[in-house]
Structure formats: C-alpha cells, structure tokens
Amino acid sequence: MSYLRIFAEDNSETPLASHAAHAEIAEVLGDVGVRFERWQTNKTINAGASQEEVIEAYREDIDRLMREEGYKSVDVVSLTADHPDRATLRQKFLSEHTHAEDEVRFFVAGSGQFTLHLGGKIYDLLCEQGDLIGVPDGTRHWFDMSEEPNFVAIRLFTNPSGWVAEFTGDDIAAKFPRMQPTRSKASA
C-alpha cells in the first residue's frame, strides 16, 4: 500500500502528517507541484515481458504524458534482489540530488521510495505497483530501492540521454528512514 509521510527537515523521528489514501496523497503532492497518479491496464503483462510489451500495455497513458509534458523518450527498468550490482546501484540514488528535467517513474510492479525535500519539509513517498510519480525539475530528492530491490518501472524523459543527476552535497538523506525490503517478486 502506498503511503506518504511528511517530516520537518530537522526531525526524522516524528512525521507531521501521514497519508495512505491515494486521493489524499495526490492532493498533498499536487499542492507542492508533484504529480501522483494511478494507472491501470486491461492487458496482461507476464513475468519477463519485454520492454516493448510493458510500454504497449500503458501506451495510452504514456502518450498522454508525452503530449502534455513534451517527454521525448520512454524506457523500462527492472531490478531484483539477485542483481549483482544492486548495492552499487542503490547507493547511486541515495544521496540528495536534482535534475534539469522532470523525473517521471511509473511502477509496473514492485515498489520504491521517493523522498522529496521541499520548503523545509521532507515528503517520504512509498510508490507501489500502479503508482506514477512526476518529480519536477530542480526538486531536491533521493530514491531508495531497498537492500533487496524488486521493481519494474517505466521512465519518461525529455533528455534522450536519460538520467542525469546533480548532487547537492547535503547529507540530509542519511538522516531519514530508508525503504524496508519487501519479500514479494516483481511480476513483469
């Protein structure tokens, strides 16, 4: 189940607010300029589906976002707990950073934790299967996939070269809760 916890940036112990209802999460994040949607498909996506099959299953929503926001490329990333470089890949995303373009991720399967640093607050969001997050360009944030990653995600980009981070050098990400491993397997 997706959830959003909001903390003061100087207190990682006690959330100021917690939300578990999707509509509430979308409203709260929308108020700070972050897109949060639920996508569904009526197409079956089998385990091990190709990138093309996954994209085709969500083609209508992908095309809508490409039209609305000007995204130019789309791909699919998948990571599981048996990946030999999982610890290195996890570490790459755990430090606070920004991007010169929106970071848009749709979770086809599994989950991941996006943490946003906005206006003196920390927005800690667990995204699960069916969730789309759109982090606006320039937003300070980090991402945790846990020690045992398990997700399949669609990524949309305006920059065809893909994910490019500008690290802030702030150690704030180390002060807030990390994602706990899940035991289920990603299904696509």
Task: Name the residue range of residue 10's domain.
Answer: 3-174
Does 182 reside within a domain?
no
Residue by residue, DSSP assigns 120-131 as TEEEEEEEETTE
On whether residue 53 sits in a domain, the answer given is yes
185 part of a folded domain: no
Going residue by residue through the chain (188 aa), what tens digit of pLDDT does each one get? 999 999 999 999 999 999 999 999 999 999 999 999 999 998 888 888 999 999 999 999 999 999 999 999 999 999 999 999 999 999 989 999 999 999 999 999 999 999 999 999 999 999 999 999 999 999 999 999 999 999 999 999 987 766 788 999 999 999 999 998 765 445 55
Residue 188 lies in a domain: no
Asked whether residue 74 is assigned to any structural domain, the reply reads: yes
| Residue 68 within a domain | yes
What CATH number does residue 8 fall under? 2.60.120.10
**Stated pTM of the model:** 0.92
Q: How many domains does the chain have?
A: 1
CA distance 132 to 92: 21
* Backbone dihedral angles phi then psi of residue 21, each to the nearest 5 degrees: -80, 130
